[in-house]
Amino acid sequence: MKNNTQQEKDHPSKKIMPETTLKEIKELNTTIKTTSEQIITQTISHLKKINPNRPQEMEYFDELANMFGKRTQELEQYKAEGKKIVGYNCIFAPLELIIAAGAVPVRINSGWYDTSKLGDRVVPVEVCSIIRSTIGAKMIELSPFLELSDVLITVLTCDGMTKLSEILGGYKKVWHLSNPRIKDSDQALKFWNEEIKQIKNNLEKLTGNKITTKTLKPAILKTQKATKAFRRLQNIRKDNAVISGQDALLVTQTFMWDDIERWTEKTNILCDELDRRIQAKEWICPPDTPRVMVTGTPMFWPDNWKLPSLIEEGTPKGILVADELCSSERLLYDPVGIDEWTMTDMLNAIGERYLMACTCPCFTSKDGNEDRINWLLTKIKDHKIQGVIYYVTRGCMLYAMEYTTVKRALDKINIPVYYLDTDYTREDTGQLKTRVEAFLEMLNTQIDL
């Protein structure tokens, strides 16, 4: 644990958080870490209990789910070997460049409820839980990923992320990555490509490794393979109920901190097992189970994880077959599309993949955020979705405000959508359960008719 005076020396004027004594940091860190590890263990054993015939290959992801475990040790090892760890707060961070520079990318968004309460010491409770939780995690140095990061790429997508980067900037080196709010203008793409180039230069300076065609090509190939593995899992879920939505979400979630190559390999092995289950017709639920999709605010392991179990374990039960979350499917769907393996082409392709393909509600155009609406409609059709739960954590303005547009679009195709608002609390699951069950009852009645 790095002590406060050292931090003070690094960034003397930018320290925004209230004074916390080393003793308090240590005590809170221990308590919250213990609770968190208990919750992780409980959730995993619960997943095993509710589905005795759970895919065996989930074991790898179960182990990875403990963020304080092996992966943290691996990152410590990398660091000891002189490798740089690059933390990022948003899916706009160009992973290929980080990898090409010989650094290790890891996402630092926090899913801890207990640290979101600590965040209240710094910002008002109206601020979204993700931001408050990340602030709290920094306050007590809880997140191994955030702590191990040599630098943070903070993407300025929403107001929360923008101001969060200022707060984190008092404690860590921060590189801002500013995304334009419109995609379809020349100046936007030009600006964005310049931002990407800046990140490339920064990475080269940090690691001392020049990013060349020789290093960038394999990095792109690596993420392309990950995307392919993810799409394979997606396609399996389209037509075959062989894996629960909760398990699938765990797989995509762990991508954010795992070694990409190994994650790809393990996901493919899982898909092999799922293929065998399709052959053996080992379905996890009856064919008339309502097919649900979740969209909205990202969900982060381990506390911000209530909704999937409510959908799949209530009475009646639904099955979560797809999502449109930047903590899951949006993370991985789109590959970097390369025409020619030249530096300019590769950089442009990276810029395009991160900007144009993203359906974040931070974007708008003359027709609103039409990319997201179109993508939702496509997913609903492809995955035969019967109902959508629109999930928003309080304070998440962009998703909250875009609900009306999404609802209007889904009303047109007669797909029921329910707005579920919550935050990181564990105490409101009873109320949420009532709502989710009512929604599933409604879907069941409509399916029966």
Binding site for another protein (CB under 8 A): 315, 416, 418-419, 421, 428, 430-431, 433-435, 437-439, 441-442, 445-446, 449
Q: Which is nearer to another protein, 148 or 397 (CB)?
A: 397
Measured CA distances, 18 to 5, 95, 170 (Å): 14, 33, 12
DSSP state of 291: E
Comparison of 334 and 441: residue with beta carbon closer to another protein: 441
Q: For residues 154 and 177, is the Cβ–Cβ distance under 8 A?
A: yes
Nearer to another protein by Cβ, of 354 and 418: the residue is 418
Q: How far is the CB of 143 from another protein (least distance, A)?
A: 28
Of 206, 134, 198, the residue nearest 167 (C-alpha):
134
Shortest gap between Cβ of 294 and another protein (angstroms)? 18
Distances (CA, A) of 54 to 21, 67, 247, 255, 423: 45, 22, 9, 20, 29
Residue 283 or 403: the one with the smaller Cβ distance to another protein is 403
- Give whichever of 147 and 303 is closer to another protein, judged by the CB atom: 303
In the complex, the smallest distance separating the C-beta of residue 435 from another protein, rounded to whole angstroms, is 6
Residue 322 in 3-state DSSP?
Answer: strand
Give the residue with the Cβ less far from another protein, 156 or 440.
Answer: 440
In the complex, least distance from residue 40 CB atom to another protein, rounded to whole angstroms: 24
Beta strands in 17-172 (DSSP E): 85-88, 104-107, 151-155
In our burial notation (b when 16+ CB lie closer than 10 A, e otherwise), range 23-33 reads eebeebbeebb
Give how far Cα 1 sits from Cα of 21, 84, 94, 158, 291, Å. 13, 18, 29, 30, 46
In angstroms, the CA 395 to CA 194 distance is 31
CA distance 68 to 47: 20
Residues 6+ apart with CB under 8 A from 326: 90, 91, 298, 360
Strands (E), 254-344: 291-296, 319-324
Residue (1 or 401) nearer to another protein, CB: 401
What percent helix, strand, coil does the chain show, rounded to 5?
A: 55, 10, 35
Nearer to another protein, 278 or 442 (CB): 442
Given the complex with another protein, which of 344 and 414 has the nearer CB atom? 414
| Residues 152, 204: Cα–Cα separation, whole Å | 15
* Bond preceding residue 12 cis, omega within 30 of 0: no
Between 187 and 414, name the residue whose CB sits nearer to another protein: 414
C-alpha–C-alpha distance, residues 97 and 203, integer Å: 8
Query: In terms of Cα–Cα distance, which of 364, 329, 65, 16 is closest to 174?
Result: 16
Name the nearest CA neighbour of 296 among 319, 328, 250, 254: 328
Cβ at position 437, least distance to another protein in Å: 5
**Nearer Cβ to another protein, position 81 or 126?**
126
Complex with another protein: residue 215 or 425, whichever CB lies closer: 425
In sign, the C-alpha dihedral spanning 353, 160, 105, 233 is: negative
Query: Cα–Cα distances in Å, from 62 out to 215, 242, 247, 301, 352?
Result: 32, 18, 9, 12, 34
